[in-house]
C-alpha cells in the first residue's frame, strides 16, 4: 500500500522550476534577487537546450560542477578520474564586449495599475536588468549598470566577475523611483564612458522627451554601439483607466488633465499605438533593437529577444 506523499516546496523552489516563464508579479514578490535572477536565466537556458557556459579565452580560471547541457569538451577529466565527479573547466575570459544596462528610475516607473496582478515597472526592470546582466556575464561580457532619471543616479562600471554581479544586484536593489526622466543625459554619459564598441541596453517606459532620446540613440549608434531598447509599460497604460470623468495627473511631472475617460478610449488607444509605432520606427531607422514589454510578460520572453540580439553580435 503506497503511503500518500506530500510535496513541500518553498515558493522559491516552486518558482525556480521555470522562473523564466513565471508571472513577473510572483517572482517580483520573492526575496533574494540573486537567486531569482539565476532561476530566470537557468530556466531560460534550459529552454534553449544548450548551455551558454563556455568561455571565450583559453586561460583556465577555475572549475565548477557540471550542469546539464554543458559542453563536454570542457569537462575536467582529470578531476573526474580522481573524484568521480564531473567538473567543467572555466577560463578567464577575454571579452571584447562591454555592456551597459540602463535602468530608468524616474517617478513614472513606480506606477502600477493593479498591484495584485502586476509588478511596478521598476520592479520589472530590476528583474530584467539582473537577469540580463547575469546572462551577459555568464557569456563573458563585462556588464555595467546605469540608473537614471534626469541625471545619473547610480553607476557601476562594466566587469565580468561574480562579485561584480553581486554588487550590481546590490545597486539594483537600492534603486528607488523618483523624479522626472531625461534619458538623453544618461545615454550620452554612457556613450562617453564606452570607449570601445559595446552594447547598451535601455530599460524604460520611454515617458521621456522623444527628440532628446532619439538624438542620443543616434549618437550611440554613430559611435558604433549596439543598442537594445526594452520599452516597458504597465498593461493598465495600454488602455485608459475606467475612471469616467476625473482629473488625471502625472505623478512624475504633476501635470493635470480633466476629462472623461469614457469619451477618449478610442483616441487614447490610437495615441499609444502611434507612440509605440514611432519608437519602433525610430529604432529601426537607427539600427537599434526595440522590444515592447508589458509588466505581465514573463522574463524568459524578454531574454529570448536579448539572446537573439547577443547571438548576432557574436
Partner 1 sequence: MSFLYAWAVGLTLSVAIPLILHLRRRNTDRRVAFPALRYLSRAEDARSRSFVASDVLLLATRIGLLLALAFAAAGLLLGRGGAGDHDPTDLALVIDNSASTGRLVGDRPLFEELLDRARQSLAAARPEDRVWVFPTVGPPVAAGVSAVRASEALARVTLSDGGADLVAAVVEASSALPADGARTREVQLVSDLQRTALRGPPRGDVDGTPLIAYLPQPHDEPNAAVSAVQLTGGTTVPSGVGHGVLVSTALGGGPVDDDANEASVRLQLDGRIAGAARIPWGATGTLGLPELPAGTHEGRVEVDPSGARADDIRFFSIQVVAPPGVRFVGPDTSFARIGVETLRQAGRLGASGETVTLVDGVPSRGIAGVGSAESRSTLVLIPPTDPVDLPAYNQVLAGLDIGWSLRPDPERGTLALEEPSTSFSLSGVTVRERYLLVPGAGAAAASDSALLRTEDGEPWLVRTSAGGTVALLLGSPLVPGASDLPTHPAIIPFLEALLVQWSHLAGWPASDFDAGVPIPLPSWASAVTGPDDRRVTVEGGAPFTGDRAGVYRVEGSDPRAGPRAAHFAVNVPADEIDPTLIGLDRLAELFPGRDVVTGGPGAGAWGDRVFGQRRGRDMAPWLLGLALALAAVELFLATPGRAKKRANGSGRWGRTAGDAEASTGTT
For binding to partner 1 (CB under 8 A), which residues are involved?
21, 23, 107-108, 111, 205, 207, 233, 235, 237-253, 255, 257-265, 267-276, 280, 283-284, 288-294, 296-298, 301-302, 305
Helix (H) or strand (E) holding 228: strand 226-233
d(CA 233, CA 235): 6
Minimum CB separation from partner 1 for residue 255, in Å? Answer: 6
Closest contact distance (angstroms) between CB of 140 and partner 1 is: 25
Residue number, 81 or 242, with CB nearest to partner 1: 242
- 181 close to 104: Cβ distance less than 8 angstroms: yes
Task: Please report where in the chains the cell 562617453 appears, as a residue.
Answer: 192
Closer residue to partner 1 (CB): 34 or 110: 110
Minimum Å gap between C-beta 269 and partner 1 is 7
Rounded Cα distance, 150 and 208, in Å: 10
Q: In terms of DSSP H, where are the helices of 140-250?
A: 162-174, 183-193, 210-222, 235-238
- Return d(Cα 180, Cα 106) in angstroms, integer: 5
Q: Which is nearer to partner 1, 1 or 247 (CB)?
A: 247
Do residues 75 and 53 lie in contact, with contact meaning Cβ atoms separated by under 8 Å? no
Q: For 108, left (φ over 0), alpha (ψ -120 to 50), or beta?
A: alpha
Of 192 and 274, which has the nearer Cβ to partner 1? 274
Least separation in angstroms between residue 109's CB and partner 1 is 8
CB of 240 to partner 1, least distance (A): 6
Which of residues 91 and 292 has its CB atom nearest to partner 1 in the complex?
292
In angstroms, what is the minimal distance from the CB of 163 to partner 1? 33
8 A C-beta contact, residue 136 and residue 46: no
Q: Which is nearer to partner 1, 142 or 229 (CB)?
A: 229
Report in angstroms how near the CB of residue 22 gets to partner 1 at its nearest: 9
Distance separating alpha carbons of residues 143 and 132, to the nearest angstrom: 9
Among residues 164, 163, 157, 165, the alpha carbon closest in space to that of 33 is found at 165
Considering beta carbons, is residue 90 or 113 the nearer one to partner 1?
A: 113
Amino acid at each position: 500500500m503506497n503511503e500518500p506523499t506530500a510535496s513541500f516546496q518553498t515558493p522559491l523552489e516552486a518558482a525556480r522550476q521555470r522562473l523564466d516563464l513565471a508571472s513577473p508579479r510572483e517572482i517580483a514578490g520573492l526575496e533574494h534577487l540573486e537567486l531569482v535572477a539565476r532561476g530566470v536565466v537557468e530556466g531560460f537556458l534550459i529552454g534553449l537546450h544548450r548551455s551558454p557556459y563556455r568561455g571565450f579565452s583559453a586561460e583556465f580560471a577555475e572549475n565548477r560542477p557540471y550542469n546539464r547541457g554543458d559542453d563536454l569538451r570542457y569537462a575536467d577529466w582529470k578531476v573526474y578520474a580522481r573524484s568521480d565527479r564531473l567538473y567543467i573547466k572555466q577560463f578567464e575570459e577575454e571579452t571584447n564586449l562591454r555592456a551597459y544596462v540602463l535602468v530608468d528610475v524616474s517617478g513614472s516607473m513606480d506606477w502600477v495599475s493593479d498591484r495584485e496582478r502586476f509588478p511596478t515597472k521598476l520592479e520589472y526592470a530590476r528583474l530584467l536588468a539582473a537577469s540580463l546582466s547575469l546572462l551577459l556575464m555568464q557569456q563573458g561580457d563585462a556588464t555595467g549598470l546605469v540608473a537614471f532619471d534626469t541625471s545619473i543616479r547610480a553607476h557601476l562600471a562594466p566587469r565580468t566577475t561574480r562579485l561584480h554581479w553581486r554588487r550590481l544586484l546590490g545597486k539594483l536593489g537600492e534603486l528607488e523611483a523618483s523624479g522626472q526622466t531625461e534619458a538623453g543625459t544618461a545615454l550620452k554619459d554612457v556613450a562617453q564612458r564606452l570607449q570601445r564598441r559595446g552594447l547598451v541596453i535601455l530599460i524604460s517606459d520611454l515617458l521621456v522627451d522623444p527628440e532628446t532620446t532619439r538624438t542620443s540613440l543616434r549618437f550611440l549608434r554613430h559611435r558604433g554601439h549596439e543598442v537594445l531598447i526594452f520599452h516597458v509599460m504597465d498593461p493598465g497604460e495600454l488602455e485608459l483607466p475606467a475612471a469616467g470623468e476625473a482629473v488625471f495627473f502625472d505623478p512624475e511631472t504633476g501635470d493635470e488633465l480633466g476629462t472623461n475617460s469614457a469619451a477618449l478610449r478610442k483616441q487614447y488607444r490610437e495615441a499609444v499605438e502611434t507612440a509605440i509605432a514611432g519608437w519602433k520606427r525610430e529604432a529601426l531607422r537607427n539600427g537599434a533593437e526595440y522590444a515592447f514589454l508589458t509588466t505581465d510578460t514573463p522574463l524568459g520572453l524578454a531574454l529570448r529577444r536579448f539572446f537573439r540580439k547577443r547571438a548576432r553580435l557574436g
